[in-house]
Structure 1
Amino acid sequence: MGSEHQQWLEAMEEKSRRRQEKFMDDIAAKLQRPRLRHAPTHVFRGAPDFWHELEWDEEQRIQAFTDNFVSVGAHIVRVQDLGEAAQFITNKAHELSAKYLIRQNEQVLNDLGLEEQLPDVQISVWNSAPEVDWKARAAEADIGIVMADYATAYTGSVTVLSSPEKGRSVSLLPTVLVLIIPVQRLYTRLGETLHRFDEAGREQLPAGIHFISGPSRSSDIENDLTIGVHGPGVVYGVIVG
C-alpha cells in the first residue's frame, strides 16, 4: 500500500471518528447528561439466585410447556413411547392427505418405522443423497419431522440444533412441523439449555441454534397477524414419555 493511500485512509478514519464523537455529544446534550466515556460497573451479572433455584417437577414442566406452547397456536400431543409417536404421525399424514414427508437423519427417527407405516407417502431423509437439492425438497414437503434437542417449560420453546444430519430447512420449510420431544429433554428454565453452549465453548457450537415457539407468526404489515409466512403454519409438539 502506497504512503499516499495510507494517509488517505487515516484521514478518512479520523473524519469518521469526529463525526461519531459529534453524534454522541449531540445525544448526550439532548438527554441533558454528561457523556459516559467508560462502561458502568454492573453490581449484578446474570440471573439472580432465586431464578437459578427455580425447578419444577416433571408434571409441572409438562403442564407449563403445554400451556405456553398452545397459547401461541401450536398443538401438543402426549404419548407414552416412540411407537405411539409413530402412530400419531401416521394418522396425521392420512388426515392431512400428505403426499411427501421429510425428516432429520437421526437414529431415533429411523426407529419410528414410518416408511413401513406410510407406504403410500414419499418419505425423504435429510442429506441422505449428495446429488439432491435438500432445501428445495424440504420446501416441497407437506410434513417435516424434527427431534428436539432441548425444550423449555417456562418459555414454551423447543431448541433444535443444526448439523449435516439435521438441516434447519426441515423445521423451517414444510407446511406442517412435527417436533418429537422426549420428556427427559424438557427443562424448567431456558438457562438450563443455554449454559450447555457456554460450557462447550465457541469452537464446539453447532452451525445453528433455533428456538421454536409455535407456528410462524408475523405482524410486519400494518400490524396484521399472519400465520405461516416465514415457516410452518401448523406445529405439533409430541411429548414422548
Structure 2
Amino acid sequence: MAETYEAWLKQMEAQSRAKQNDFMNDIANKLKRPRVTEAPKHPFRGAPDFWKAYELTEEERVERFTANFKAASGFVERLSDMEAAKRFIADKAAELSAHYMIRQNQPELNEMALEQALPDAKVSVWNSDSEEHWKARAAEADFGIVIADHAAAYTGSVTVLSSKDKGRSVSLLPTVLFVVIPLERLKTRLGEILLGFDEAGREQLPAGIHFISGPSRSSDIENALTIGVHGPGVVYALIVG
C-alpha cells in the first residue's frame, strides 16, 4: 500500500510540474520573449554603501521626524525632560476629559509617576495584576502611554516592541496614544533599527515589532481615507531631550 501511495504521489507531482511548465511557457509566448529558467543574479544585497553612511545631525533628525510624522496626521512635541512629558499628558487629559489610561510597565514610565499628576483619573499598568483582563482594559482606555524602543527620522516611524510588560494592546486599542521618544533613540534611517534585529538572531526577537507612523489610516473601502479604524485615531509623539 505504501509503495502504491508513493507512486501515486510521484505521478501527481509529475502532472503538476507539467502543468506548471505549460503555464509558464504560455506566458513567455504571449510576452514574445524567451522563457527564464534560471534565477537572475543579484550582485547587490541590502542598502548601498552611500545610504548606510547617510547620517543626519540630532536637530536634523528631530526636524525630519517631526515633518514626516505630522504629514501622516500625527502630532509631535519636543519636551525637555520626562517631567515636562508628564505635565503635557496631564494637560491633555484635562483638555480631553480623559478619565482612564493604561501604560506599559516600564522603568521610565514608572519614574514618570503619572498617577500623581492625575489624581482624578485611573492609570492602570499593563500586566500588573494576573487576574485582570488587560485587553479589555486597553480597549476601554481613553489614553494609551508607551515608550519607544526606537524611532526613525527619515520615515517618521516609531518602533515599539512587545513583551509581557509591554502589551501591544496598549498602543493599539486606546482612543489616543502617547509615544514617549527619548532623544537618543531617534535614529536617521530605519535600517539602523532593523540591523539590530538581524544581529540579535531569531531566538532573541521580541514577541512583536510594531512600527507606528501616525494614527491608524485606512482607504480599503471605495478609496475613502478613514482615520482611527484599526488603531488610535490620535497619536502624539513626545520627543524628550
TM more than 0.5? yes
Give runs of aligned pairs for residues 1-241 of structure 1, distance below 5 A.
Answer: 2-241=2-241
1:94-149 deviation digits (Å, cap 9, x = unpaired)? 11111210111101111111111112111111111222221111111111001101
Cα 1:29–1:133, aligned 2, differ >3 Å: closer, same or farther? Answer: farther
Residues 174-203 of structure 1 show CA distances to partners (whole Å, capped at 9, x for unaligned) of 110000000000011111101101110111
What letter is aligned with 2:27? I
Q: Residue 111 of structure 1 aligns to a residue in which SS?
A: helix
Question: Greater shift after overlay, 182-191 or 6-15?
Answer: 6-15
Q: 1:16 to 1:135 in 2, by over 3 A?
A: farther
AA of the residue aligned to 1:105: N
Q: Deviations over 1:40-68 (max 9, x none)?
A: 11122221111111111100000000000
Amino acid at match of 1:9: L
- Once structures 1 and 2 are overlaid, which stretch shifts more, 7-16 or 148-157? 7-16
Unaligned runs of 5+ in 1: none
In structure 2, C-alpha distance between the alignment counterparts of 1:177 and 1:94, rounded to whole Å: 15
The percent of aligned pairs where both chains have the same amino acid is 65
Residue 193 of structure 1 aligns with an amino acid whose one-letter code is I
State the Cα deviation string for residues 22-54 of structure 1 (Å, max 9, x = none): 332222222222222221111222211111111
Structure 2 residues not aligned, in runs of 5+: none
Counterpart residue type for residue 209 of structure 2: I
Rounded Cα–Cα distance in structure 1 between residues aligned with 2:205 and 2:30: 42
Taking structure 1 as the reference length, the TM-score comes to 0.95
TM-score (norm 2): 0.95
- Counterpart secondary structure, 1:222: coil
For residue 27 of structure 1, give the secondary structure of its aligned residue in structure 2.
Answer: helix
2:163 alignment partner AA: S
Shift of 1:8: 3.6
